[in-house]
Amino acid sequence: MLLEGARVRDQIEAELKPRTERLARERRAPGLAVILAGHNPASEIYVRNKVQACQRLGIYSEKLTPPHTVTTAELLEAVGRLNHRPEIDGILIQLPLPPQVDSKTVLLAVDPDKDVDGFHPLNMGRLFTGRPGTRPCTPLGILEILRRYQIPLLGRRAVVVGRSDIVGKPVAMLLLAEHATVTICHSRTADLPAVCRQADILVAAIGRPAMLTADFIQEGATVIDVGTNRLSTREEVAQVFRGSPEKLADFDRKGSLLIGDVHPLDVTQKAGAYTPVPGGVGPLTIAALMLNTVESAERRLGLCSG
């Protein structure tokens, strides 16, 4: 079964629309500010997609675009101004920031109540201690796709490959909260394929193209592929897709191909359900950001979603 992110995104947006309309009618529209520093082409695409989602839902958005020479102090000043603006419910710092900027210091400066990315240590602490709070967007999107496709979690064995603060650790905590038995793995895990084969639910978030082959996947497992890796040579495409003329022609037309951390051919043969790359987890990250922004506005304006 193909787990389509766009389908779940559309469901989430359909549920959010009446909530944003109510906010606009009774108080004001939710507000999201995005800081995009420098000229990273991938970041510019991500931010454009986020702004478009805001427009679809009636969320006020504004984009701050300091130059690539911006300093940590200048970004801290910008964040401070946004923290004090009552019409801004969410602040998003698009990563990566330019190399001269202390990213951790800037992220820490965001008001935790406006941290719609869920990266602030206070919100991470709330997650790890089981308290209500804003959840990181990609892990939240993963839980939404599992829930909406009715993938059982209670008592199931989940293996998360990757231990980042953005995906690996928080998604493990969310799965644990749903009463799955969770193992966190990484590149130094002994006999990684054997551990992964135990998984009823396998989450791949290690950042290596097609690393998880058939040897890592239990027959019938649910596979969530968080990876976004770009194949930039014809040789890579031929190797991964085993000489597929269609994929080689696709590469010749586009100049590159996007694949995940799980081998795209092996996963279709062994998994019972899986997210494609692209089109799986990606759309849900932005949908979760919209959900976090609307919930922040409701909380700050004293309106529940009921």
pLDDT digits (tens, 9 = 90+) for 230-247: 999 999 999 999 989 999
Are both 235 and 147 inside the same structural domain?
A: yes
- Domain end position, chosen among 99, 126, 153: 126
Residue 1 lies in a domain: no
| Better-predicted residue by pLDDT, 44 or 61 | 61
- Domain end position, chosen among 126, 156, 180: 126
Residue 193 CA: distances (Å) to CA of 167, 169, 184, 189, 239: 20, 20, 13, 9, 20
Are both 173 and 111 inside the same structural domain?
A: no
The conformation of residue 115, written as its DSSP 8-state character, comes to B
Residue 18 lies in a domain: no
Q: What is the mean pLDDT of residues 135-156?
A: 97
Q: Within 10 A of 82 (CB to CB), how many other CB atoms are there?
A: 20
Are both 122 and 143 inside the same structural domain?
A: no
Per-residue pLDDT at 306 exceeds 60: no
Structure tokens, 190: 């002994």
Residue 38 has a pLDDT of 84
Separation CA 22–CA 1 (nearest Å): 36
Q: pLDDT for 184-216, tens place per residue?
A: 999 899 999 999 999 999 999 999 999 999 999
Are both 155 and 273 inside the same structural domain?
A: yes
Domain count, the chain: 2
Confidence at 182, pLDDT banded by 50, 70, 90: very high
Separation CA 202–CA 136 (nearest Å): 19
The mean pLDDT value of the chain amounts to 94
Residue 12 lies in a domain: no
Separation CA 76–CA 277 (nearest Å): 35
Q: pLDDT for 64-92, tens place per residue?
A: 999 999 999 999 999 999 999 999 999 99
Q: What is the mean pLDDT of residues 4-18?
A: 96
Structure tokens, 154: 């209670």
Q: Locate tokens 């895990």: which residue?
A: 189
Confidence at 43, pLDDT banded by 50, 70, 90: confident
The pTM score is: 0.92
Residue 11 lies in a domain: no
Separation CA 124–CA 167 (nearest Å): 12
Identify the domain containing residue 231 by its residue range.
137-281
Confidence at 145, pLDDT banded by 50, 70, 90: very high
Say whether 217 sits in a helix, a strand or coil: coil
Per-residue pLDDT at 305 exceeds 70: no
- Domain end position, chosen among 126, 158, 188: 126
Are both 184 and 121 inside the same structural domain?
A: no
Are both 52 and 73 inside the same structural domain?
A: yes
Q: pLDDT for 153-176, tens place per residue?
A: 999 999 999 999 999 999 999 999
Q: What is the mean pLDDT of residues 276-303?
A: 94
- The CATH number of whichever domain residue 101 belongs to comes to 3.40.50.10860
Q: Locate tokens 């004090």: which residue?
A: 84
Residue 290 lies in a domain: no
Residue 42 has a pLDDT of 78
- The CATH number of whichever domain residue 198 belongs to comes to 3.40.50.720
Of 119, 6, 1, 110, the residue nearest 56 (C-alpha)? 6
Catalytic positions, written as ranges: 50, 94, 117
Identity (one letter) of the amino acid at 268?
T
Are the C-beta atoms of 111 and 103 separated by less than 8 Å? no
Residue 40 has a pLDDT of 78
Q: pLDDT for 96-140, tens place per residue?
A: 899 999 999 999 999 999 999 999 999 999 999 999 999 999 999
Q: What are the residues whose beta carbons fall under 8 Å from the beta carbon of 66, sequence distance 6 or more?
A: 35, 37, 38, 74, 75, 78
